[in-house]
Structure 1
Amino acid sequence: MEDIKIAFGKRVKELRLQKGISQEKLANIAGVDRTYMTQVENGKRNISIENVRKICIALNVSISDFFDVNYLKEN
């Protein structure tokens, strides 16, 4: 099974690209540093639930949709 941090980062990147926004813009909307967002997308951060919420809000996606079980199983 893939590391959850890597799977989380891939999901952030997938949704960000679907929305057509840069890492910098997503970071600004979420209220986190751009370098932090890079580390999240690269699976280098074990992020807090508060930042999960911020990222979901910034991506305009519910937490339940973000954590689509089928996505996490396939990747």
Structure 2
Amino acid sequence: MKNNIKDFRAIHKYTQDELAEKLEVSRQTVISLEKERYNPSITLAFKIARLFNCSIKDVFIYEDE
């Protein structure tokens, strides 16, 4: 699933390590999310949106295949 995590991370000036710590995940998870290799659980998607103070739809782009 396409996402804007890297863009939001840059806006908030978080490193991958800082974002991982705030989300309570590994840095590897953040890397996988940013490279769109991993789709987060709904719980993690909500945590990401809440951290960036936006909606899930602002962070994740759903494309019907």
Tell me the TM-score normalized by structure 2.
0.77
CA RMSD of aligned residues (A): 2.1
Identity between Structure 1 and Structure 2 (%): 29
Match of residue 42 from structure 1: 35
Cα shift at 1:30: 1.0
Task: Within 5 Å, give how 1:22-33 maps onto structure 2.
Answer: 22-33=15-26
The answer (yes or no) to whether the contact 1:40–1:47 under 8 Å persists in 2 is yes
Counterpart code for 1:27: A
The one-letter code sitting in structure 1 at the alignment partner of 2:27 is R
Higher helix share: 1
Q: Which structure has the greater CA radius of gyration?
A: 1
Amino acid at match of 1:44: R
Counting matched residue pairs gives: 63
CA distance in 2, matches of 1:46, 1:66: 12
Greater strand proportion: 2
Residues 60 and 43 (structure 1 numbering): CA distance in 2 closer, same or farther, change over 3 Å?
same
Gaps of 5+ in 1: none
SS state at 2:21 partner: helix
